[in-house]
Amino acid sequence: MYDILVIGGGINGAGIARDAAGRGLNVLLVEKDDLASHTSSASTKLIHGGLRYLEHYDFGLVRKALIEREALLRAAPHIIWPLRFVLPHEQSLRPSWLIRIGLFLYDHLGGRKELPATRSVKRTSDPIFAPLKSRFIKGFEYSDCWVEDSRLVVLNAVDAAHHGADVMTRTECTSLKAEGGIWTARLKHPDQSETRVEARTVINAAGPWVDQLAARAGIRRNAPDVRLVKGSHIIVPKLFDDERCFIFQSADGRVIFAIPYENGAYTLIGTTDLPFDEDLNQVEASAEEIAYLCEVSNTYFERQITPGDVVSTYAGVRPLYEDQAADASSVTRDYVLKTDTIANAPFLSVIGGKITTYRKLAEDVMKQLAETFPNMTGPWTAERPLPGGDIPGGDFEAYLEACRKDYPWLPPELLHRLLRTHGTQIQVLLKNAKSLDDLGRHFGAGLYEREIDYLIEHEFAHTAEDILKRRTKLGLHMHQDDISGVRDHFEDRSVALQASASALQP
Ligand SMILES: Cc1cc2nc3c(=O)[nH]c(=O)nc-3n(C[C@H](O)[C@H](O)[C@H](O)COP(=O)(O)OP(=O)(O)OC[C@H]3O[C@@H](n4cnc5c(N)ncnc54)[C@H](O)[C@@H]3O)c2cc1C
């Protein structure tokens, strides 16, 4: 019997599984698709306090998120790194003094230590204005962080497994029943077979499905806990050369980010905020959202874009806590934990939250379970690196330099990508390889057979998409033929595995 069954392998479920397993609890994490295959791979990929939330007086959330920013940066300096954002001042929108006060608070609310402070910027002295229309002459520059969102989820699940958790992807929890203080869950596996597991506690971390899962456990509420709000992004060939990002104010009061993407080859633009009531498994950017994002971009950049310039899009549904706010943009981004006890067995639902606050959320979940598990150990994740994040002094550039000496045969671009993806785990991945030939077949865009094997063996990857979209984003850089090559490789592998499994049968 498990102590905890965590349902949902997005950032919240993976973070809770890691924290609980590290406290000595017996944990099972189940995810109906791949890890991070829904909202947690469709974010703007920022570890941020959320400057915009100050306008809604959500100081508690901003402070909590700003404190987490530096803790997460320390835990995973390979997949999380500092960014500078430039906010060009638009005369007709928020006044300069208001932005200045907001940024002062943003700099000070969370005890910022490592990230540089806000400063003013002017067209006359800063090339950042070059790609912008000439009416933008001044603005502000402040700090936040980038995160490879799907990798953050995967690394939490990997670390949960290192601490003894069982992790089952492509496994759906189809029903739940509580009796005598024990939950029995029915699980459906990829081959359509079904098993049952028992657990003392269930954590409902099903994100946008949180209400549906509660209903499967027989919990009925008068009103939904969750408000579903869709957000879309577009990816276009790069619109500017600077490493810094832009945060634009749109006339409807929203803010839109324009961020250098995939080593600056592209610009990522997002996001939208739209009520959502369609199929949660089919979330896509609509033509209207794409047109809207192009329009906001065109208000600021000299270079004009049309939907025809968009090379890729992605969309996700925010599972926000239903606080009855009038419009989708102003619903709180903070989380709420709700515990229902059925037949003496706790069922804890996670509603809302941001990627930025997942670690703190997991700690708060464990606090709520203190009475159920009096022998579990205390909080531990604040100062512990995620897999690959134990880079000496957290200094990525120095580590890159050292690895250049250790692996002189790796082309610099490939080494950089491998380190940004795997951090110190590069040593496990490369093992005793001495040349590119030792990495096996090359599938294109720097993806070698060795890395595919590593991702299957260590990171729960099962399909080409798991690797090309979530463990890496190499699909964006590959030709269709290369992508087909990776898919064929997976098919050949599974045929070979099935053949060897049947050969072993008596
Ligand atoms: C457009 C957009 C931009 C965002 N930008 C940011 C940002 O820049 N920074 C930030 O901090 N946050 C951001 N967020 C918020 C953040 O992405 C979400 O709060 C977070 O990813 C939610 O994670 P989750 O684990 O709750 O949900 P999910 O990632 O959706 O995970 C829930 C999982 O549960 C699984 N599941 C559901 N039912 C079952 C079942 N019965 N059995 C098994 N598995 C099941 C689903 O398949 C899913 O994978 C953004 C969100 C959106 C949509």
From CA 423, how far away is CA 244, in angstroms rounded?
23
- Domain membership of residue 462 as a residue range: 392-504
* Ligand 1 binding pocket includes 389 (Cβ within 6 Å): no
Per-residue pLDDT tens digits for 401-441: 999 999 999 999 999 999 999 999 999 999 999 999 999 99
* Ligand 1 binding pocket includes 260 (Cβ within 6 Å): no
Per-residue pLDDT tens digits for 7-24: 999 999 999 999 999 999
Give residue 406's pLDDT.
96
Per-residue pLDDT tens digits for 21-77: 999 999 999 999 999 999 999 999 999 988 887 877 788 888 989 999 999 999 999
Nearest CA to ligand 1 atom 33: 8
Q: Which residue, 340, 355, 383, sits at the end of a domain?
A: 383
- The whole-chain average pLDDT of the chain stands at 95
Confidence band of 224 (pLDDT split at 50, 70, 90): confident
pLDDT above 90 covers what percent of the chain?
Answer: 84
Nearest CA to ligand 1 atom 4: 43
Q: Please identify, by atom number, the ligand 1 atom nearest to the C-alpha of residue 12.
A: 25
Per-residue pLDDT tens digits for 72-131: 999 999 999 999 999 999 877 788 888 888 898 988 898 778 899 999 999 999 999 999
**What are the φ/ψ torsions at residue 215 (nearest 5 degrees)?**
-65, -35
* Ligand 1 binding pocket includes 49 (Cβ within 6 Å): no
Q: Which residue, 295, 318, 341, sits at the end of a domain?
A: 318
Assigned domain for 267 exists: yes
* Ligand 1 binding pocket includes 209 (Cβ within 6 Å): yes
Residue 506 has pLDDT above 70, yes or no: no
Instruction: Identify whether residues 357 and 476 lie together within a single domain.
Output: no
Assigned domain for 344 exists: yes
* Ligand 1 probe mutation, 12, 43, 172, most atoms within 8 A of CB: 43
Q: For residue 35, give the nearest of 178, 193, 146, 159 by alpha carbon.
A: 159
Q: Which residue, 263, 287, 318, sits at the end of a domain?
A: 318
Per-residue pLDDT tens digits for 262-293: 999 999 999 999 999 999 999 999 999 999 99
Instruction: Identify whether residues 355 and 486 lie together within a single domain.
Output: no
Assigned domain for 75 exists: no
Instruction: Identify whether residues 254 and 302 lie together within a single domain.
Output: yes
CB of 98 closer than 8 Å to CB of 109:
no
Instruction: Identify whether residues 15 and 109 lie together within a single domain.
Output: no
* Ligand 1 binding pocket includes 7 (Cβ within 6 Å): yes
CB of 109 closer than 8 Å to CB of 57:
no
Assigned domain for 63 exists: no
Amino acid at 78: H
* Ligand 1 binding pocket includes 354 (Cβ within 6 Å): yes
Residue 141 has pLDDT above 80, yes or no: yes
Instruction: Identify whether residues 499 and 398 lie together within a single domain.
Output: yes
Instruction: Identify whether residues 362 and 494 lie together within a single domain.
Output: no
From CA 143, how far away is CA 115, in angstroms rounded?
6
Assigned domain for 58 exists: no
Mean pLDDT of all residues in 214-235: 94
Instruction: Identify whether residues 487 and 436 lie together within a single domain.
Output: yes
| Helix 11-22 with 149-162: angle, nearest 10 deg | 30
Give residue 504's pLDDT.
64
CB of 216 closer than 8 Å to CB of 176:
yes
From CA 328, how far away is CA 312, in angstroms rounded?
25
- pTM exceeds cut of 0.95: yes
* Ligand 1 binding pocket includes 11 (Cβ within 6 Å): yes
Give residue 90's pLDDT.
83
Instruction: Identify whether residues 366 and 275 lie together within a single domain.
Output: no
CATH at residue 162 = 3.50.50.60
* Ligand 1 binding pocket includes 50 (Cβ within 6 Å): no
* Ligand 1 binding pocket includes 349 (Cβ within 6 Å): no
In this structure, the number of other CB atoms found within 10 A of the CB of residue 93 comes to: 13
The DSSP secondary-structure symbol of 118 reads: P
Q: Please identify, by atom number, the ligand 1 atom nearest to the C-alpha of residue 212.
A: 38
Assigned domain for 49 exists: no
Instruction: Identify whether residues 112 and 173 lie together within a single domain.
Output: no
Give residue 53's pLDDT.
78
Assigned domain for 123 exists: yes
Task: Tell how far the Cα of 207 is from the centroid of ligand 1, in angstroms.
Answer: 5
* Ligand 1 binding pocket includes 283 (Cβ within 6 Å): no
Instruction: Identify whether residues 114 and 8 lie together within a single domain.
Output: no
Instruction: Identify whether residues 245 and 374 lie together within a single domain.
Output: no
